Amino acid sequence: MKRKILAPRTDWQLEHQKIGFDYFNLPSLDGSIYWSEGIAYEFTLRQIEQLEDASNELHQMCLSVAGDLIQRGNYPDYFQIPQDAIAHIEQSWQRNAPMLYGRFDFAYDGRNIKMLEYNADTPTGLLEASVAQWLWIEQVSGIPNRDQFNSIHEELIKRWRTILPRGSHVHFAACQEAGREDWGNLEYLMDTAYQAQLQVSELSMENIGWDGQGFVDLNNRPIHNLFKLYPWEWIWEESFSKYLTAQSNWIEPCWKMLLSNKAILVELWKRYPHHPLLLETHAFDPQQHLAGKWVKKPILAREGANIRVLQDGQDHGAASGSFYFDDYDKYGYVVQEWVDTPLFAGQLPTLGLWMVGHQCAGMSIREDCYDIIGNDAHFAAHYFVE
């Protein structure tokens, strides 16, 4: 794995605008912007195959753990699963409610892969991972015999066709106050559904209504299928959650709550101790003093929030690049073994491996000078050579 400096494309900003990637220039803490034009990571075909195989294996491991929890009806307290959600989790699993997509975050040094977490419910960074970096690989010059691990766009279209019959209507919703990145991702997913010959429309979560018989949009049109870029744990805190039925066709399905919760990392380590793809992880216990260096992570959080460094049981403060958010403090924490990964020109890369359905379909990379990849970390394209 190598970090390469390349010539920027001509009019690359315009190319982003053409595909609706209009948040490419969001500011980062270091004074630059989100998309790193002229930066790319080079891999070998063998490394790409290693990462793809690891993603598929880890996904199956997560499904096995989730299935075991559901079969036993045993949800450890550190999952903090709302009681009202349990029937929905179990019934959505039992009727094989299909998933659309998810993203693993990996630490990788070119040889060793370690799973950091599974963003299985509301991952963003999808438009740039699929279309924007594919345009880059088509347009960039000076890299002979190049290719990219990226069939995300095509696989999403195919996946929609397996989830819903042709002509079905899907509503797409996000929080009204969500940033341009969230809405950009939502609109991109709408486009993939439209290309799969589904009918689509969008609304905010706040504008989902109830007419006494079912959920409706602002035009009183029934909401039969809903893609929500909105975490399930937040949904169960909404007043409308009391109207949810176990047959509600919401994407992602409710069983994904088990995979998106970082407590799944604890269960994975219990089931597969010392697995080479896993980092040792335990439910946080303030009375337990683990030797060595660890990170304390909230079980339900996004964008690198509320992550702290522990050394020999002592709290050494917030990890660099992390921030604190009250809402993420109320659910509980896990502690995960610290993993060192190499710096490339002062940047620490985290790899995102994208699952579409139950197969890995591509990769993206975020890098930063901080230990934690937060919301404003840079997106860097990738390619591989044989």
Query: Residue 318: its pLDDT value, please?
Result: 81
Dist. CA 103–CA 360, nearest whole Å? 9
Q: How many CB atoms lie within 10 A of CB 110?
A: 13
The amino acid occupying position 122 is T
pLDDT band at 247 (very low <50, low <70, confident <90, very high): low
The pTM (predicted TM-score) of the whole model is 0.96
- Nearest alpha carbon to residue 355 among 267, 256, 250: 256
Question: Residue 369: is its pLDDT beyond 90?
Answer: no
Burial classification of residue 312, based on how many CB atoms lie within 10 Å of its CB (0-12 exposed, 13-18 middle, 19 or more buried): exposed
Dist. CA 190–CA 96, nearest whole Å? 23
Residues 6 or more apart whose CB falls under 8 angstroms from that of 172 comprise 186, 187, 189, 190, 193, 200, 201, 202, 203, 226, 227, 229
Q: Are 79 and 258 in contact (CB under 8 A)?
A: yes
Query: Residue 246: its pLDDT value, please?
Result: 59
Residue 333 vs residue 371, higher pLDDT: 333
Q: Are 175 and 206 in contact (CB under 8 A)?
A: yes
Dist. CA 124–CA 297, nearest whole Å? 19
List the structure tokens of 337.
């073994």
DSSP 8-class letter at 241: G
Q: Are 1 and 110 in contact (CB under 8 A)?
A: yes
Residue 29 vs residue 183, higher pLDDT: 183
Mean pLDDT of 346-362: 96
Tens of pLDDT, residue by residue over 10-20, are 999 999 999 99
Query: Residue 326: its pLDDT value, please?
Result: 73
Dist. CA 304–CA 374, nearest whole Å? 5
DSSP 8-class letter at 106: E
Mean pLDDT of 249-277: 97
Query: Residue 168: its pLDDT value, please?
Result: 97
- Nearest alpha carbon to residue 178 among 243, 215, 228, 121: 228
- Nearest alpha carbon to residue 225 among 194, 189, 199: 199
Q: 3-state secondary structure string, 147-212? A: ECCECHHHHHHHHHHHHCCCCCEEEEEECCCCCHHHHHHHHHHHHHHHHCCCEEEEEEHHHCEECC
Domain boundaries, the chain: 2-261+342-385, 280-337
Question: Residue 374: is its pLDDT beyond 80?
Answer: no
Q: To 5 degrees, how large is the angle CA 144–CA 145–CA 148?
A: 110
Query: Residue 28: its pLDDT value, please?
Result: 86
Residues linked to residue 364 through DSSP beta bridges, in sequence order: 352
Q: How many CB atoms lie within 10 A of CB 85?
A: 20
Dist. CA 291–CA 274, nearest whole Å? 17
Tens of pLDDT, residue by residue over 67-120, are 999 999 999 999 999 999 999 999 999 999 999 999 999 999 999 999 999 999
Q: Do the strands 199-204 and 169-174 form a parallel or antiparallel pair, or are they unpaired?
A: parallel
Q: Are 132 and 19 in contact (CB under 8 A)?
A: yes
Query: Residue 264: its pLDDT value, please?
Result: 98
Query: Residue 199: its pLDDT value, please?
Result: 98
CA dihedral of residues 133, 354, 241, 82 (deg, nearest 10): -140
Dist. CA 204–CA 229, nearest whole Å? 10
List the structure tokens of 250.
């919401």
Tens of pLDDT, residue by residue over 293-347, are 999 999 988 777 888 889 998 888 888 777 777 777 788 999 999 998 888 888 9
Residue 375 vs residue 167, higher pLDDT: 167
